[in-house]
Structure 1
Amino acid sequence: MTPNPRQSDLLEAVRVGGAITVEALAERFGVTLQTVRRDVKQLAEAGLVARFHGGVRLPGSTTENLAHRQREALNAEGKQRIARAIARAVPEGCSLLLNIGTTTEAVAREQLQHRGLRVITNNLNVAAILCDNPDCEVIVAGGVVRPRDRGVIGEAAVDFIRQFKVDIGLIGISGIEADGTLRDFDYREVTVARAIIAQSREVWLAADHVKFNRPAMVEVARFADLDRLYTDAAPPEPFPALLAEAGVQCEIA
């Protein structure tokens, strides 16, 4: 599903609070309890929130991500703004490494008019999108294909990526915790992301605001490993200070 504006605000309230009662949501948005319950039911059926007696919380797993289609729908407008900002910043005639994620796929869609790109990716969705740009050379990493999102993972993919040194490594992430660590769910995916970071002259992170304070199991990197962060809203506390301390350029789309 694509959440309507009120449902998007409800998701943001749950993300910030972690858990919140139906009554508090109704008061906050000036609607009836029945309206909130209907919104919560739809969001829960889409896997975007979890219900408990009298309230709603984040799905909360640190071991398993949302399904690919659910992640595509979550804050799709914000991801598109991020993708457009990145597309404006990527120069023509450069080399890029792109990893797994719905935000990097949004970025790929905004690169269809770029000329002279060479893109290495472990994301089959990114590869399929960019194949529609005749002036973009696409190189796909070998390895195990993860069926749920067509990501290529594992040591074979890591070894393949280590052959290259690119201008920009563009990564998505599942969660950014309050200590400034970037985290994901599958350690096999994480090893590929770490290789992308190591083989990139600049590292750009594309992360919409939903990723802040979202837990995940495996550490990918820290803010100090980044050069730029592209997001769709001002990061909440304590992230501005952490980004400044790490010298990360934060771009709000």
Structure 2
Amino acid sequence: MSSFSHREMELLSALRRAGGSARGTELAKAMNVSEETVRRTIKSLATSGALVRVHGGAYLIGTRNDPSFFRRINKHAEEKRLIAATIARIVTDGMTIFLDVGSTTAFVAEELRHQHAGLTVVTNSIGVAQTLVNTNGNRVHMLGGELQSNERGTFGHVAERQARRFAYDMAVLSSDALSAERGFLYLSAAEAHLATEIAVSAARVLMGIDRHKFSATAPHCGPEPEAVDQIVSDQAPRGRLSAALRNWDIDVTTAQ
């Protein structure tokens, strides 16, 4: 007989449905309980060794899930929250929007949950879908395809084909690096391909990028810079990067 309480069993089940890892806000939404209840339950389960507790969420013991998502989302978290709040003010009620698997985008989803209604949200992110589904009249479409547990999202030709079936008012994307020579760069080829497909289908493409990406590099090119309309960052780019963004006719918004 299991030694876990009903609430603990419910949380473990929600984690499995989420692919083995989830943020506390996602679990609270899935279980229809408060985030404080989720935190207490995670703490209890971590003590018993049933899961690993990390800042902002948890992941199951014995799964192949890489907790790298939690490392990314907690890295420069304040800057990402600032960027997300600014992006949420740009979005308007009733829009059809795409949100990707980026850690900054996870913060955007939380902001949208509290601020906007009637959105049609298309995403390949498990976390984004769980955050926004059944909230304020939003309709959420989760792309199919191959699930990559380290990104907590779906990728591949199935996801790309389904993504092309929507007419986006806005795509909110992220990247791993921003180069004055090559534009928006990604560590994952699959993520770069999907972002490129989405950018072609969107009326407006917005990139949420913190300043630390300005000095980073990555091997895969994403959307053509000319396909991007706006970036929101916690700090304005300078020098050659600033000149390149002007040449590409990309608006720069500094998060306030």
Aligned residue number for residue 24 of structure 1: none
- What is the match of residue 105 of structure 2? 104
The answer to whether 1:169 aligns with 2:155 is no
Looking at structure 1, the residues matched to 213 and 224 of structure 2 have their Cα atoms a distance apart, in angstroms, of 14
**How far is 1:234 from its partner?**
1.6
- In the TM superposition, what is the alpha-carbon distance from 1:223 to its structure 2 partner? 2.5
Gaps of 5+ in 2: 1-65
The residue identity in structure 2 corresponding to 1:103 is T
Aligned-pair distance for 1:130? 0.9
1:56 corresponding residue in structure 2: none
Tell which deviates more after alignment, 217-226 or 192-201.
Answer: 217-226
Q: Does 1:93 align with 2:64?
A: no
Distance, in Å, in 2 between the alignment partners of 1:109 and 1:182 is: 24
Shifted more, 233-242 versus 193-202: the winner is: 233-242
Determine the C-alpha separation between the residues in 2 that align with 1:223 and 1:198.
11
Shift of 1:132: 5.4
Matched letter for residue 178 of structure 2: I
Asked if the contact 1:109/1:129 (under 8 Å) is kept, the reply is yes
Letter of the structure 2 residue corresponding to residue 211 of structure 1: K
> TM-score, normalised to structure 2's length?
0.71
The alignment status of 1:69 with 2:66, answered yes or no, reads no
Which of residues 206, 215, 233 in structure 2 aligns to 1:204?
Answer: 206
Kindly tell me: are residues 236 and 132 of structure 1, through their superposed partners in 2, closer, same or farther at Cα, counting changes over 3 Å? farther
Aligned to 2:128: 126
1:24-35 alignment runs, 5 A limit:
none
Aligned-residue identity in percent? 29
Q: Could you state the TM-score of these two structures normalised by the residue count of structure 1?
A: 0.72
For the 8 Å contact 2:171–2:198, the answer to whether it is kept is yes
Runs of 4+ residues deviating >6 angstroms:
none
- Contact 1:114–1:135 (8 Å) recurs in 2: no
Question: Tell me, what secondary structure is at the counterpart of 1:243?
Answer: helix
Task: Kindly report the root-mean-square deviation, in angstroms, between the aligned alpha carbons of the 2 structures.
Answer: 1.8
Q: Using the TM superposition, give the Cα deviation of residue 195 of structure 1 relative to its aligned residue in structure 2, in angstroms.
A: 1.1
Give, in angstroms, the shift of residue 247 of structure 1. 1.2
Of 132, 135, 138, the residue aligned with 1:136 is 138
Indicate if the aligned counterparts of 1:96 and 1:167 stay in contact, CA closer than 8 A: yes
Q: Number of residue pairs matched?
A: 190
Report the Cα distance in structure 2 between the residues aligned to 1:199 and 1:222, rounded to whole angstroms: 13
Residue 196 of structure 2 contacts residue 224 of structure 2 at CA under 8 Å; is this kept in 1?
no
Structure 1 residue 165: Cα displacement = 1.3
